[in-house]
Amino acid sequence: MQINVNTDNTINKHQGLDEHVDTVVRSSIGRFSDQVTRVDVHLSNENKEKKADGGNYCMLEARLSGVAPIVVHDHANDLHQAINNAGGKLARALDSAIGRLQDKHRHAATPLADDATADKHLTDS
C-alpha cells in the first residue's frame, strides 16, 4: 500500500509528520492492505496562518482496484488529532464499503444455487 502525503503552504511538512501519517494510516487500515492500493493524504490549515490554532484539516482518499475512491475528512484544533480522527473514519468507511462489496458478490452467486434447487424440485414433482 502506497501512502502519499500532500500539504499546502500552511503546513510545515517534515519527516516526523510523514512518519506520523504513515503510522496512523497503516495502524488504522492495515487489515485492508490487500484491497487498498494507495492512500492520498491532504493536510491543510484552513485559517491560512501557520501559527493559528484550529482549522487543521485532513482528507484521506483510499484507492481500491475497480471501486470508486473512498474519501473521508476531519477537522480538529491539532493536526495530529485530525489525522488520527480521519484514520478511524477511513477504517470504518472501508469496512462498510468492502463489506457491501462482499455481500454483493455473495448475493450475486446465491440466486443461481436457489434457481437450480427450485428447478430440481419442479422436475421431481
* pLDDT tens figures, 51-66: 555 689 999 999 998 7
122/51 Cα distance (integer angstroms): 75
Domain count, the chain: 1
What CATH number is attached to the domain comprising 35?
A: 3.30.160.100
Q: To which H or E segment does residue 31 belong?
A: none
pLDDT at 42: 97
| Residues facing 36 on adjacent strands | 64
pLDDT in tens, 18-64: 999 999 999 999 999 999 999 999 999 987 655 555 689 999 999 99
pLDDT at 99: 82
pLDDT in tens, 91-112: 999 999 888 877 766 666 655 4
pTM for the whole structure: 0.77
The CA R_g of the chain, rounded to the nearest whole Å, is 21
Q: How far is CA 14 from CA 19, 54, 107, 117, in A?
A: 9, 20, 47, 62
Q: Is 76 helix (H, G, I), strand (E, B) or coil?
A: strand
Task: Spell out the residues 6+ positions from residue 95 whose beta carbon is closer than 8 angstroms to its own.
Answer: 32
88/122 Cα distance (integer angstroms): 51
| Residues facing 7 on adjacent strands | 43
Domain that holds residue 68: 2-124
